[in-house]
Structure formats: structure tokens, C-alpha cells
């Protein structure tokens, strides 16, 4: 069988303890020019208002991505929409993770306050947030990072709930470098990477998540496949 590239995306989400709705929305859609984009929005606050906000913004961002609009413009347009209709009084974070099959690159476009974790060729990097949330200031623009679409690339993106875990009990932020050293570089499925980070963080919050939480994991690996098959799945547990 010929060598092939496996693009593996995993998402894990939960909501703030005792809250019924998560203000974090994650969508994964196909790009018209080839490839896929994950849209992750964390609406300010928690509960129904935050959920409505994040669904509204993800609706805008997903529609633009599906129309073929470039990611940097999707982020600016989603910001402009929020700023125009909420007058700078409401904010949200926005992450776009794209696998662009035309340019053969991984493109990460962010307006957030949380860092991201990147593994490549044995190196582990914690990349700080360079552009703040959307919705607050007139000319907000995203920070964009372009990475190679090559086997061995591992990326973890997450919302504030992950980064702020343990704050209530005055713990330092979650040790991302230690997490990467322990779990990266072993061909771990993306779903497991996302689950592991979510579990680690819920433990820091004593089993009761302090905020809505979402993790997006990307793993590019070598594979062998006779045929191009695409799989997609979702599991939701309703208590």
C-alpha cells in the first residue's frame, strides 16, 4: 500500500459545572477550495446568553468559510458583525484551524487570550495569544500562523476554561509543556489528545469545571491507505 497522510481532528467539550448549556461552540466544515476548517467560538459569560452568542457568531463564521472566504477575512467579518450589533459591549474569542489542501498548509487564525500548544519534529512550543477577543475594539484583527501540512504536526487549541482552570484554588496555569512532553510524538489519536487535556483540566477544577471548556486537537500522521476514505463522527452524552 502507498504511504499516505492521515489528517486527524478530535474535539472534546463540556460545560461549566451545574450549567445546562455551553458557551463554547465548535464546528467542523469543508472548505470549497479543498480541505477543512474548525471554527471554535467562546461567547462571553456562561449559560444561555453565552450559548446564543457563540451560536450566532459560529453561524456567521461557518457561512463565510463555506462560501470560500479566506480565514483572515472570516475573523475580521465576524468581529465587525459583533461590534456593529453589540456596540463593543460584548466579546468572544474565535479560533479557526484550517487544513488547506490547495496550499498544503495548516493555517491557524486566532482572536483569543489563551496560548496554543504545538508539537513538530520533537519540539514542543507554547505559543502565546497575540490578538485579543473580538467584539470590544473597532479595528480588531486576528493573528495568523501558517504551518506545514506534514506528518508529525500536532496542535492543541482550547478556550479560556482550559487555561483558567485551577484559578479558584490559586493553582498556576496548566503545564502545557509537560503535557506535550508526555503525550506528543507518539501517534496518539487526536480524540485521545483532546480527551486527555480536558480530563487533566477538569481534575484541576476538582471534578467541577469552573467554566465552559472546549479542546480541538489536530494530528497529522503517516498512514497507509489504498483508498481515500473520510470518516466523521460525533458522540453526545445527555445526562
Interface residues with its own copies (CB under 8 A)? 2, 4-15, 22, 25-30, 32, 36, 52, 55-56, 58-59, 62-63, 66-67, 99, 101, 190-191, 194-195, 198, 202, 223, 225-239
Comparing CB distances to its own copies, the nearer of 37 and 131 is 37
Residue owning grid cell 504511504: 3
Distance of alpha carbon 236 from the chain centroid: 18
Comparing CB distances to its own copies, the nearer of 172 and 233 is 233
Instruction: Quote the CA–CA distance of 155 and 57 in Å, as a whole number.
Output: 23
User: Least distance (Å) from its own copies to the CB of residue 103?
Assistant: 14
Comparing CB distances to its own copies, the nearer of 97 and 129 is 97
User: Least distance (Å) from its own copies to the CB of residue 138?
Assistant: 26
- Residue 9 phi/psi, 5° resolution? -120, 135
Beta-ladder partners of 199: none
User: Least distance (Å) from its own copies to the CB of residue 224?
Assistant: 9
Comparing CB distances to its own copies, the nearer of 131 and 160 is 160
Q: Which of 193, 88, 177 is nearest to 132 (CA)?
A: 88
User: Least distance (Å) from its own copies to the CB of residue 204?
Assistant: 15
- Residue 173 phi/psi, 5° resolution? -60, 155
Instruction: Quote the CA–CA distance of 37 and 5 in Å, as a whole number.
Output: 17
Amino acid at each position: 500500500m502507498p504511504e499516505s497522510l492521515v489528517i486527524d481532528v478530535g474535539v472534546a467539550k463540556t460545560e461549566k459545572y451545574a450549567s445546562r448549556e455551553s458557551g463554547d461552540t465548535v464546528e467542523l466544515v469543508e472548505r470549497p477550495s479543498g480541505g477543512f476548517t474548525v471554527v471554535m467560538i467562546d461567547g462571553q459569560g456562561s449559560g444561555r446568553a453565552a450559548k446564543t452568542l457563540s451560536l450566532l457568531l459560529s453561524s456567521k463564521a461557518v457561512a463565510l468559510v463555506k462560501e470560500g472566504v479566506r480565514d483572515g477575512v472570516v475573523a475580521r467579518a465576524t468581529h465587525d458583525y459583533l461590534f456593529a450589533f453589540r456596540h463593543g459591549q460584548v466579546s468572544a474569542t474565535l479560533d479557526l484551524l484550517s487544513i488547506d489542501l490547495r496550499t498544503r498548509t495548516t493555517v491557524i487564525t486566532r482572536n483569543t487570550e489563551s496560548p496554543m500548544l504545538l508539537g513538530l519534529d520533537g519540539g514542543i512550543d507554547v505559543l502565546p495569544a497575540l490578538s485579543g477577543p473580538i467584539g470590544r475594539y473597532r479595528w480588531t484583527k486576528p493573528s495568523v500562523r501558517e504551518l506545514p501540512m506534514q506528518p508529525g504536526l500536532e496542535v492543541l487549541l482550547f478556550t479560556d476554561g482550559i487555561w483558567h482552570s485551577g484559578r479558584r484554588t490559586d493553582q498556576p496555569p496548566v503545564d502545557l509543556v509537560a503535557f506535550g512532553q508526555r503525550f506528543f510524538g507518539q501517534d496518539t489519536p487526536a480524540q485521545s489528545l483532546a480527551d486527555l487535556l480536558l480530563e487533566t483540566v477538569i481534575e484541576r477544577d476538582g471534578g467541577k469545571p469552573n467554566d465552559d471548556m472546549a479542546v480541538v486537537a489536530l494530528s497529522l500522521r503517516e498512514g497507509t491507505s489504498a483508498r481515500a476514505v473520510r470518516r466523521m463522527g460525533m458522540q453526545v452524552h445527555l445526562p
